[in-house]
Amino acid sequence: MQKRYILEKFIFILCITISFSTNAQTSVNLKDIIYKAENKLRGKSSVAEMKITTIRPKYTREMEMKSWTQGEDLSLMYITKPVRDKGTTYLKRYKEIWYYLPSIERNIKMPPSMMNQSWMGTDLSNDDLVKKTSLSKDFEHTLLGEETIDGHTCYHIKLIPHENADVIWGKIELWIENNHYNVMKQQSFDEDMELVNTMTASNIQEMSGETIPLKMEFFPADKPQQKTLMEYISIEFNVKIPTHYFTTQYMTKIKA
Amino acid sequence: MNYVKTYIFILSLALSCTLTAQEKTIFQENFSFRGYLKYMQTLAFAGNTDLAVDNLFHNRLNFAYENQKGHKFVAEFRNRIFYGTSVNSIPNYGNLINEYNGVLPFEFLFVSNSNVVMSTIIDRAYYQYTSEKTQFRVGRQRINWGINTTWNPNDLFNSYNIYDFDYEEREGADAVRFSYFPTYMSSFDIAYKFTGDWKTDIFSAMYKFNNWNYDFQFLAGKFQEKISLGTGWAGSIKSIGFKGELTFFQPYDFVSKMNTSFSTSLDYSLRNGTYLMASYLYNSSGTNMLSDITNPIFEVPNAESLMPASHNIMGTTSYMFSPIFSGSLMTVYSFGINSLSLAPAATFSVMNNLDLDIIGQFFWQEFTDSPFQNIGNGVYWRFKWSF
């Protein structure tokens, strides 16, 4: 059952990497900014070590993992902590997901609907994040001003979905840092314009040629004492990852 | 108590290899050690019989050494101390729990009397060599060929009992296995399981590949005194997972009836994270009739006959209520024999490496001469500390 918790985190990480990468065209300046933010890490490969902390009023739980990603289609994650789950490995290869349990030496295939699960306890599903919403294409953009977040000057932009767009949000507000186009803050509102969740980013660093925030925090609006914290312990971009890493065979052989 | 001394010695040796890893030598880099300690109490009750209370301290130590050249040595110890009603009342309880389906002498019954039973079983002990395209393994190992979620007619070498939740690693087989990997998404395996008698030995080959978003596998071999042929798949229909396994067992004489073992399952995850799974198992050698004896619920089945009845269905659901609390429910119904089981379970993460599980197992059955009735129940609670 713990595996399901980890799987949720795996999909969560996939979505974080993927949510910044969808198609769009450029014409207006604001659109251009959002396009740059969305496509910042598109198609890139990365090798990262990260830590996810789930914070609740009465407890916290930590998890550490190593991940390899190549664009949006290939992703591999190896759990290093907690010890109980050490060695459990998840693989996403195009439309298929497997996990490997070292204790019984078995690969288990997951149903595609796993990608359909709600994300962060919201109405937003992973699939919505991955496929449908293009922040630059499906919304009308209005500049609300400039604000400083974590010491960085950001464009504060309001996004209202086009009438025909297949978007579940009523409104999104973005704070995009003007130097490297990192999304430093994002607030998503439902169709009644109620705040659903907030993401904030901090600790911008240059990591192998990419300037990115190393820390991200996610807050559900209706549960003020809860948050999920994601931190990169290390991350390298544009690494040449052998293609055989993203295979069910390699999953069983990882030494990390 | 030599047993305890040896045990503490092994444990401290292992700990010294991991905990003093400030400056790791090459040996320490390649060496890994992990395990857990569990305490479980079982409360068993049925009808008018007295409540049976059993206690089990269960420790697992996993050692592995793997160098950069592909050589790997693995040894895993299952150490258990039993006390309580079953130990007190069942004669030779020690021999019963220490029984192992293998030829290697890796079962040690240190203490066995009517108060306490102490046993160690080494259920993994193998040498493995891996190169880019091949893998060779010899010794006590798990050869897991199942591809369906539960009920695995393709899992010829290590069948397990679905109600034995406390043995998560499951038994290993004393075997030799060779794998060849033509591509990174396909493999060809051959394995031979030694039982000490050619008649009960198991030998099989399997080819496995991935295409059209499906995993497929095909098997052929000798299963005891039968020819076994099988296939299995794991894929999806739209967003619903779709898996199955089919194995035919044809006796050598070609006169006796061929047996068919077939399972299939669908699984789905709802938007709120609820996981649902439904499975069907067909066992041609099973019964379609009411019985006058209690279903052998806790026997270890084999791939040919995974359940006593011909037609069986299973439903499973699980849900994560919070990051530290999840629950599940498994229900199994066998037609003809008219037996039902319900198994609810709850898991709490008490601390980062400490879990508490509370599990129930409830069984009903109809008999030739008496109506559908409760035949036995077990409630288990278990602490597990992982290290």
Number of domains comprising chain A: 1
Interface contact flag, B318 A4, Cβ < 8 Å:
yes
- Closest-CA residue of A relative to B143 is A105
Q: How far apart are CA B142 and CA B126, in angstroms?
A: 10
Closest residue in B to A9 (Cα) is: B323
B320 in contact with A at a CB cutoff of 8 Å? yes
Interface-testing mutation among B245, B275, B277, B348, with chain A (most A C-beta atoms within 10 A): B275
Residue-number span of the structural domain to which A218 is assigned: 2-251
The full 3-state SS of B143-177, as one line of letters, equals: CCCCCCCCCCCCCCCCCCCCCCCCCCCCCCEEEEE
Residue A121 is predicted with a pLDDT of 46
Domain assignment present for B340 = no
Q: Out of A1, A107, A111, name the one closest to residue B241 (CB).
A: A111
Residue at B245: amino acid letter: E
The enclosing domain of A135 has a CATH number of 2.50.20.10
Average pLDDT, chain A: 81
CB atoms within 10 A of CB B380: 19
Residue in B36, B181, B269 nearest the CB of A113: B269
Q: Does A249 touch chain B (CB under 8 A)?
A: yes
Does A8 contact B273 at a Cβ distance shorter than 8 Å?
A: yes
Give yes or no for residue A21 having a pLDDT over 50: no
Domain range spanning residue B46?
1-121
Find the helix or strand (DSSP H, E) in which B26 lies: helix B26-30
d(CA B350, CA B384): 10
Is B241 in contact with A95 (Cβ distance < 8 A)?
no
Rounded to the nearest 5 degrees, what angle is found at the Cα of B326, between the Cα atoms of B325 and B332? 155
Q: Provide mean pLDDT across the span B290-318.
A: 88
CA dihedral A219, A222, A223, A227 (to 10 degrees): -10
Q: Is residue B16 part of a domain?
A: yes
* Residues of chain A contacting B216 with CB distance shorter than 8 Å: none
Interface test with A, best of B148, B160, B236 (most A CBs within 10 A): B236
CA distance B12 to B19: 10
% residues pLDDT > 70 (chain B)? 94
In the predicted model, what is the mean pLDDT of residues B134-163? 93
Token output for A43: 């198609």
In a domain, residue B261? The reply is no
Highest mean pLDDT among A43-47, A203-207, A251-255: A203-207
Interface contact B310, partner A, CB < 8 A: no
Residue of A nearest to B70 (CA): A253
Residue B49: count other Cβ atoms within 10 Å of its Cβ.
9
Contacting residues of A for B15, CB less than 8 Å apart: none
Q: Which of A54-58, B3-7, B170-174, B263-267 has the lowest mean pLDDT?
A: B3-7
User: Could you give the angle at the alpha carbon of B57 between the alpha carbons of B52 and B60, nearest 5°?
Assistant: 140
Select from B236, B243, B328 the Cβ nearest to the Cβ of A1.
Answer: B328
Query: Quick one: closest CA in A to B186, which residue?
Result: A249
- The pLDDT value recorded for residue B128 is 96
pLDDT surpasses 80 at A101: yes
Measured in residues, chain B has a length of 387
Q: What is the dihedral of CA A39, A42, A47, A48, to 10 degrees?
A: 30
**Residue ranges of E strands in chain B:** 31-45, 52-66, 71-84, 107-112, 117-130, 134-141, 173-183, 186-193, 202-211, 214-223, 226-237, 240-251, 259-269, 275-283, 311-322, 325-334, 339-351, 354-367, 370-386
Residue A23 has pLDDT above 60, yes or no: no
Residue B133 CB neighbours (<10 A): 10
Say what the pLDDT of residue B184 is: 87
Residue A22 confidence (pLDDT) above 50:
no
Report residue A54's pLDDT band, with 50, 70 and 90 as the boundaries. Answer: confident
C-alpha dist (Å) from residue B342 to A35, A131, B148, B262, B296: 53, 39, 21, 22, 16
Instruction: Count the Cβ atoms, other than its own, within 10 Å of residue A55.
Output: 16
Compute the mean pLDDT over every residue in chain B, rounded to the nearest whole number.
91
Rounded to 10 degrees, the C-alpha dihedral B23/B25/B29/B30 comes to -160
> B363 to chain A nearest CA, in Å?
23
Flag whether B53 is in a domain.
Answer: yes
pLDDT at A24: 37
Closest CA–CA distance from residue A256 to any residue of chain B (Å): 11
Number of domains in chain B: 1
Please answer yes or no on whether B240 and A118 come within 8 Å at the CB atom. no
For the purposes of burial, counting CB atoms within 10 Å of the CB of B318, is it exposed (0-12), middle (13-18) or buried (19 or more)? buried
Q: The tokens 């070590």 sit on which residue?
A: A49
DSSP 8-state symbol, B254: S
Q: Percentage of chain A with pLDDT > 90? A: 20
Q: pLDDT tens, A142-161?
A: 899 899 988 899 999 999 98
Q: Which residue of A has its CA nearest to B274?
A: A117
For residues B287-303, give the mean pLDDT. Answer: 83
Please indicate, yes or no, if residue A256 is contained in any of the structural domains: no
Give the residue-averaged pLDDT of B79-89. Answer: 95
Torsion of CA B246, B362, B92, B50, to 10 degrees: -170
Tell me how crowded residue B4 is: count the other CB atoms within 10 A of its CB: 12
**Model confidence at B24: pLDDT above 70:** no
- Is B386–A84 a contact, with Cβ atoms under 8 angstroms apart? yes
Compute the nearest-CA separation of B116 from chain A (Å).
28
ipTM summary value? 0.86
Determine whether the interchain pair A117/B273 forms a contact, defined as Cβ–Cβ distance below 8 Å.
Answer: yes
Q: How far is Cα A161 from Cα B198, in angstroms, rounded to an integer?
A: 71
User: Chain A neighbours among B 359-378 (CB < 8 Å)?
Assistant: none
